[in-house]
Amino acid sequence: MSYAFNPLKPIAIGSDHAGLAYKNALIKWLTDKGHAVNDLGTYTTDSVDYPDYAHATAIAVESGEAAFGILLCGSANGVAITANKHQGIRAGLCWQNDVAQLIRQHNNANIICIPARFVALALAEQMIEIFMNTPFEGGRHATRVGKIACN
């Protein structure tokens, strides 16, 4: 597989307190594989508001500062909803490998959202690997993706 995102840009990653342990483990896993990572928080287990970290990650991806984003929270629904408020973001909620592949192939997702309370860390790593290496198919899917924005 070829890398579907610009490997010269960092990967943006953010989480709330429920996703912190996974975020820290994924940062180590990604950096051990040679990827640059922009850690956008949180940094403690203190209760925080997930939108703060989802917005920061979405802004990094939307601005082009990051190649793509990873968001984690308990269910991943909150971070996905928040990130998708940004016009240039297509955040997909993933809980299995097939979904990680399809949100790239069919939806051209640029942020993967992972429910830390519901998937094993090893599965999270597999989903991210698939997400990073799956290209957007374009074609009929490009027409559909083009209709997502509200403006």
pLDDT digits over 48-97, tens only?
999 999 999 999 999 999 999 999 999 999 999 999 999 999 999 999 99
Which 8-state DSSP code applies to residue 19? G
Please state the φ and ψ torsions of residue 91, each to the nearest 5 degrees: -95, 130
Backbone angles phi, psi at 114, to 5 degrees: -120, 130
Closest CA to 113 of 87, 77, 88: 77
Residue-range domains of the chain with CATH: 11-146 (3.40.1400.10)
Distance CA 13, CA 56 (A): 9
Q: What amino acid is encoded at 85 in this protein?
A: K
Segment 94-135, tens digit of pLDDT: 999 999 999 999 999 999 999 999 999 999 999 999 999 999
Asked about 106 being catalytic, the answer comes back as yes
Please, what sign has the CA dihedral across residues 48, 50, 51, 57? positive
The upper half-sphere exposure of residue 43, i.e. CA atoms within 13 Å in the direction of its Cβ, equals 3
Question: Could you tell me the CA-to-CA distances from 148 to 7, 43, 90, 142, 145 in Å, in that order?
Answer: 26, 33, 9, 10, 5
Predicted confidence band at 35 (pLDDT cuts at 50, 70, 90)?
very high
94 tagged catalytic: no
CA 84 vs. chain centroid, Å, equals 11
Cis peptide before 82 (omega within 30 of 0): no
Catalytic residue among 17, 73, 86, 94: 73
